[in-house]
Structure 1
Amino acid sequence: MDRSSGSPDVTRRSLFRAAAGTSAAVAASSVTAAGAAADSAAAQGRGRGHSDGSGFTLAVMPDTQYLIDEGGSDPEPVRAGLRWVAHRHQKQQVAFLAHLGDVTEHGTEQEMRTADEVFRGIGRKLPYSVLGGNHDVSGDDQRGDTPYLRTFGPDRFAGMSTYGGSSPDGYNSYHLFEGGGRRWLLLALDWRVSDRGMRWAQGVLDEHPELPAILTTHDLVWADDDGMAHLSEHGRGLWDGLIRGNDQIFLAIGGHYWPCGRTTLTNDAGNAVHLHLANYQDRYYGGAGMIRSYSFDPARGMIDVETFSPWLREQRAARLAPLEAENAELTTTVDRFGVEIDFAERFAGFAPPVSWERPATEVLGRDTVAYWRFDRSGFVAGDDGAPVAAGAVARDLSGNGNDLTVQRLHDGPPEVLTFSAEHHDAAPAHASLRFDGGQDPNRGAVLRTGKDAPINSMGFTRGYTIETFLKLPDPFRGSHAWMGVFGWEGRAGDAGKNGGYSPDDAPCSLALSSERFLQFVVYPHNVDDDPTCWSHALPLGQWVHVAVVNDGGHTTVYVDRSQVVRNATARSTGITTLGEPFALGGKQSAGRYGQGFHGSLGDTRITARALRPAEFLSAVGSGSG
């Protein structure tokens, strides 16, 4: 920040407050109209990660000028921050990093050499953007050659797959990255964008009219002591000249001023635009290399924002001095909060709906045993609501020969099994089957493997993952307690398993209790017992993804990629299959079917090893190998 650059009085007050050591007043203050309603939602979502595969994180690094200062500084906190982001990018947790400018204190050749060395430390491990701040450059983006441009000009980004291009002057750039199943546009604009720069930015938006856009710049908004942000003079120019007229821009982030703050303005299309100020150079150790993470969770309609210092986090908590511990993670309402966004509704004016549909080839791995889906790629699919004919075949798309054939139970009517276009948002196929099973009288339908299917006799001693998408109807009428979702046919007693609940149990099954709890029962090879896992009560009228994962020693059930609490602690190795068919839509007792499943089932996959949640069918772009 340049204190001679016409900063508002509030900035000078904040300097005095920081010098006086009264920063606790900021932590105690509350954010006013600028999105306070989202704070309670953020409190529930922080630290949870994304609720399904549709999420991703954008990392932001604000002003680092006091850490790259030839007069005496320490760039190690910046290195630590970059390492933290690069590591999580490699683990597909962070999609992109945006620096907000004022990389250095004076913009000299020596400081830029240091900055170059710091950023070169992460090599090609991380896609990122950098823009010029007033301590890096002076004047507007028509200034010509500078040490900054030679360090962070187009040549630096040309080798990155996310780099889209730069303005002719080289000081403004745009970047395209992927996250949550769609592409995003990020504009990195100079601290003083000229009219030429503005026209260039408008051209970029015009060339990518369907992409949601995030604008980053150095000087955008300043904030009151209570965290309420206001457009700066330059920010007003960006708002009037670029942001308000382009509905694509839904989030804009700047640095330069302190204290931090945020506000929400309404654009010309009548939609909300969130404007945030992130700058921590006034805090301990020049900001200690703070990272602000924006975790996008479309499934929850939320962006969770957190602020922390990876450099301080790297150090053992017991060794942190009080001032270090205070700054390792910031938790005020301007540093840790949530932004509520219905992404589909907010982007409806310019972006086509996101489709999670994926071909079977994208979800088949080296250990996939069977994969069934109910669209035209694997089934003779009919119109939405049309009955499924008895004898219809759902092909095993893994190629292993575990095809399923439709069988109606107890001579039930055709409507006990119908085609449906409904599906879980993250399901690879946009189709499902609607089962209308019931107890009074017993009715239903199942899809069974043939008598010679390889899966009938597999023991899975090295582990397994069985996953499916299901939805219970709302309202949930009738009695459906202990209806089966899937299972292997036969009696556990016929395999010599008499120590469990009953020798009439199926060798392995997933069912629903009267309380709508999932119950996974398996008779493994290693014990004469039935280690059983339970879930919470499943919601009505809502798709969920269920995965049963066994690592060769223990079984864990996941619902929507979250581990449930009542998982059996007893050791469990493999499944004591009897050479009898695997069935979807019901389970046997005493070797016979009673009622069938009541609800909808989608893509179902069986893998001969334990998968991580990031590999589940519900993880966008996931595979099993």
Structure 2
Amino acid sequence: MENSLSRRSLFRAAAAVPILSAAAAGTTPATAAAAPSATTPHGGRPDTTAQRFTIAVLPDTQYLLDDGGSDAEPVRATLRHLDRERAQDNIVFMTQLGDVTEHGTETEMRAASRAFDAAGRLPYSVLAGNHDVSGDDQRGDSPYLRTFGPQRFRRMETYGGSSPDGYNSYHVVRGGGREWLVLALDWRLSDAGLAWTQGVLDEHAALPAILTTHDLVWAEDDGTAHLSDNGQRLWDRLIKGNDQIFLALGGHYWPSGRTTLTNDAGHPVHLHITNYQDRYYGGAGMVRYYGFDLARGVIDVETFSPWLLAKDEPTPLEAEHVELSGDVDRFTVEIDFDERFAAFAPPVLPAPLPPSAVMPRGTVAYWRFDEAGLAAAGSDGAHVAPGTVARDLTGNGNDLTSELLHTSDRNALTWSAEHHDAQPARASLRFDGGKSPDRGAVLRTGPDAPVNSATFESGYTIETFLKLPEPFEGDHSWMGILSWEGRAGDAGKHSGWSDDEPTCSLNLSGERFLQFVVYPVPVDADPTSWSHAIPVGRWMHVALVNDGRHTVMYVDGSKIVRNAAEESRGISTLGKPFAIGGTQSAEKYGQGFYGWIGDTRIVSRALRPNQFLTARGR
């Protein structure tokens, strides 16, 4: 009987308790099967817009489809599992790596056809290995071609076409909100096959490509892989000259292994061998998940046997092969997808927005550092002279004026073309503040600016974009990002760390935690919110939202956990300037901010995340 729990549920359970039989654990298969399962999203279909998706890889199944004596059930179990878990594991495609059968006979191909019927709605590709066919892709008719030729794939929504000989095909797969090209190439590609493949790449020049074939790389016992003779031919004549190909997968050899080579464009190409036919039960229908995570910039790889996973009481040998966890079977490939694909498929960024599009009701002040907001905005790296004005684009009179701190030279503040992808303006300011000696720059409102004395007792939203340099050099602990000037003690607030700190400020701790501390209007308290350790070298959006009772910090639209539990109403401003780029102590600036600051906005009410500066369609 097949256990109805999903694979992920079982793996989570396995991490918490030892593997026991149902009887030893005090349960029965029936009670285990009755456990609740996750609701299947998208009507049982994968979510092709999600940032995380899976491409499954099925290697050589020849020992399981051998008319001399074999068992096709592990193959069927794997394909049933992939079809059943399409939505749960967000499986958008499966690619098979050749040697479907042992001898390529009519009988074996019929058995393979019946086994692959278990894939149901799952789109997939199949390619020929040396046990399925002989010669190159100009061989003509064969039992393989009659079984896994173009006619098998024509109804699949991913299928793009086949070579005239029928032995090579391609699919266009959608995942992560974009399209991917999957090439399924014969085990021996002729010159005509190479030309056809190049034509497919040229026709889909903006798509990142995954090349699959049977004979590509072989591996040493430690998993270090090397190009085979056929793999070298493919590398020289196809892979290295086509920057689109970032991942190439093969079977044929064992043990499994991997390597990374550099193509003609200077970019890495990951080449993997996946084959488990030497393992117990001819590989037991092992399948490999390539889990693409576009948010994290990785492909997480894992290998397991759905057939063995479904067994209620596996034998010791079966239990040993449920999941493989060696360095060549479970690993992570790091890929900055946008950077890797930029040469042929640059990311489509949101269009810049005019100031009028990002000033909702209640906007008190909005500053940006492009031509619309910064007088005399220059080219990337241009110095921002002291006295330069950043206009408050609301027209409310909260203009900022730049000044250098202490004896800082003009490099302390420069104009930058860098920006957060979702930022309305395409510019920022680069601050080069630091300690020992203190240096930096700030932008401050004038003495009569309305925001200086606004108390926001009905609520507020303060937003900014920022980026820390990579490498993050020097000691910049407790540098200020934005603040109101003035001593908390002068506002009658004595409960905090020091009477000399300002009444409201956003700072960065030595551990790179964002700290937002504010002294409310009615009480002597200093509710403080803390973020996680924020990354370097990456733009982020920070929002501080107060609904008149409590303050919540958001980073990139996500609520942080350490928000102040204390009630907080308003900001105890003292009529002193608001500043970007630093925080005072005892009404004096020390070090200035180190990094980039982009668009900054203050609204006199609580906004929802879908109303932040990062939102579109406002």
Same-fold status (TM-score > 0.5): yes
User: Take 1:251 and 1:547, find their aligned partners in 2: how far apart are those partners?
Assistant: 36
Alignment-mate amino acid for residue 387 of structure 1? V
User: Take 1:314 and 1:492, find their aligned partners in 2: how far apart are those partners?
Assistant: 62
- The corresponding residue for 1:531 is 528
Q: Following superposition of structure 1 onto structure 2, how do residues 221-240 of structure 1 map, counting pairs within 5 Å?
A: 221-232=217-228, 234-235=230-231, 237-240=233-236
Q: Deviations over 1:141-198 (max 9, x none)?
A: 75386232366423313xx4xx654434554333556889997543222344344322
Q: Is the 8 A contact 1:57 1:95 kept in 2?
A: yes
For CA contacts below 8 A with separation 6 or more, give which structure has more relative contact order: 1
The offset of 1:323, in angstroms, is: 4.6
The answer as to 2:388 corresponding to 1:387 is: no
Alignment-mate amino acid for residue 468 of structure 1? F
Alignment-mate amino acid for residue 77 of structure 1? T
- The corresponding residue for 1:202 is 198
User: Take 2:240 and 2:559, find their aligned partners in 1: how far apart are those partners?
Assistant: 43
- The corresponding residue for 2:81 is 80
User: Take 2:64 and 2:371, find their aligned partners in 1: how far apart are those partners?
Assistant: 59
- The corresponding residue for 1:115 is 116
Q: Following superposition of structure 1 onto structure 2, how do residues 531-610 of structure 1 map, counting pairs within 5 Å?
A: 531-533=528-530, 542=537, 545=540, 547=542, 568=562, 571-572=565-566, 576-577=570-571, 583-587=579-583, 594=589, 597-604=592-599
- The corresponding residue for 2:304 is 309
Q: Is the 8 A contact 1:456 1:582 kept in 2?
A: no
Q: Is the 8 A contact 1:181 1:354 kept in 2?
A: no
2:351 to 356, 359, 381: 359
The offset of 1:73, in angstroms, is: 0.8
The offset of 1:538, in angstroms, is: 7.9
Provide closer, same or farther for how the CA distance between residues 538 and 279 of structure 1 changes in structure 2, counting only shifts above 3 A: closer
The answer as to 2:253 corresponding to 1:276 is: no
- The corresponding residue for 1:457 is 456
SS of the equivalent of 1:457 reads coil
Q: Deviations over 1:24-53 (max 9, x none)?
A: xxxxxxxxxxxxxxxxxxxxxxxxxxxxxx
Q: Is the 8 A contact 1:58 1:293 kept in 2?
A: yes
The offset of 1:338, in angstroms, is: 5.6
- The corresponding residue for 2:9 is none
Q: Is the 8 A contact 2:126 2:148 kept in 1?
A: no
Alignment-mate amino acid for residue 530 of structure 1? P
Q: Deviations over 1:184-242 (max 9, x none)?
A: 54322234434432211011233455665431123333434443445556545534543
Structure 2: any 5+ residue segments left out of the alignment? Answer: 1-49
User: Take 1:64 and 1:288, find their aligned partners in 2: how far apart are those partners?
Assistant: 9
The offset of 1:254, in angstroms, is: 1.0
SS of the equivalent of 1:187 reads strand
2:401 to 381, 403, 407: 407
User: Take 1:561 and 1:379, find their aligned partners in 2: how far apart are those partners?
Assistant: 27
The offset of 1:271, in angstroms, is: 7.2
Q: Is the 8 A contact 2:209 2:245 kept in 1?
A: yes
The offset of 1:76, in angstroms, is: 3.7
Q: Is the 8 A contact 1:184 1:211 kept in 2?
A: yes
Alignment-mate amino acid for residue 187 of structure 1? L
Q: Deviations over 1:43-97 (max 9, x none)?
A: xxxxxxxxxxx997763412374899695515343343455564454xxxx8865
Q: Is the 8 A contact 2:432 2:594 kept in 1?
A: yes
After TM superposition, the score normalised by the length of structure 1 is 0.63
Q: Is the 8 A contact 1:372 1:605 kept in 2?
A: yes
Provide closer, same or farther for how the CA distance between residues 243 and 447 of structure 1 changes in structure 2, counting only shifts above 3 A: same
Provide closer, same or farther for how the CA distance between residues 68 and 451 of structure 1 changes in structure 2, counting only shifts above 3 A: farther
Q: Deviations over 1:489-544 (max 9, x none)?
A: 677679986543356654542224578764332457999442352765986xx556
Structure 1: any 5+ residue segments left out of the alignment? Answer: 1-53, 123-127
- The corresponding residue for 2:517 is 521
- The range that moved more, 236-245 or 370-379, is 370-379
Q: CA RMSD in A?
A: 5.8
Identity of aligned residues (%): 40
Provide closer, same or farther for how the CA distance between residues 64 and 547 of structure 1 changes in structure 2, counting only shifts above 3 A: farther
The answer as to 2:247 corresponding to 1:251 is: yes
Provide closer, same or farther for how the CA distance between residues 314 and 489 of structure 1 changes in structure 2, counting only shifts above 3 A: farther
Q: Is the 8 A contact 2:521 2:571 kept in 1?
A: no
The offset of 1:596, in angstroms, is: 7.2
Provide closer, same or farther for how the CA distance between residues 593 and 261 of structure 1 changes in structure 2, counting only shifts above 3 A: same
Alignment-mate amino acid for residue 262 of structure 1? R
Provide closer, same or farther for how the CA distance between residues 109 and 512 of structure 1 changes in structure 2, counting only shifts above 3 A: same
The offset of 1:252, in angstroms, is: 1.6
SS of the equivalent of 2:389 reads coil
The answer as to 2:287 corresponding to 1:290 is: yes
The offset of 1:306, in angstroms, is: 2.6
SS of the equivalent of 1:486 reads strand
User: Take 2:131 and 2:362, find their aligned partners in 1: how far apart are those partners?
Assistant: 53
Alignment-mate amino acid for residue 450 of structure 2? K
Highest CA radius of gyration, 1 or 2?
Answer: 2
- The corresponding residue for 1:61 is 57
Q: Is the 8 A contact 1:85 1:97 kept in 2?
A: no
Q: Is the 8 A contact 1:498 1:529 kept in 2?
A: no
User: Take 2:127 and 2:431, find their aligned partners in 1: how far apart are those partners?
Assistant: 59
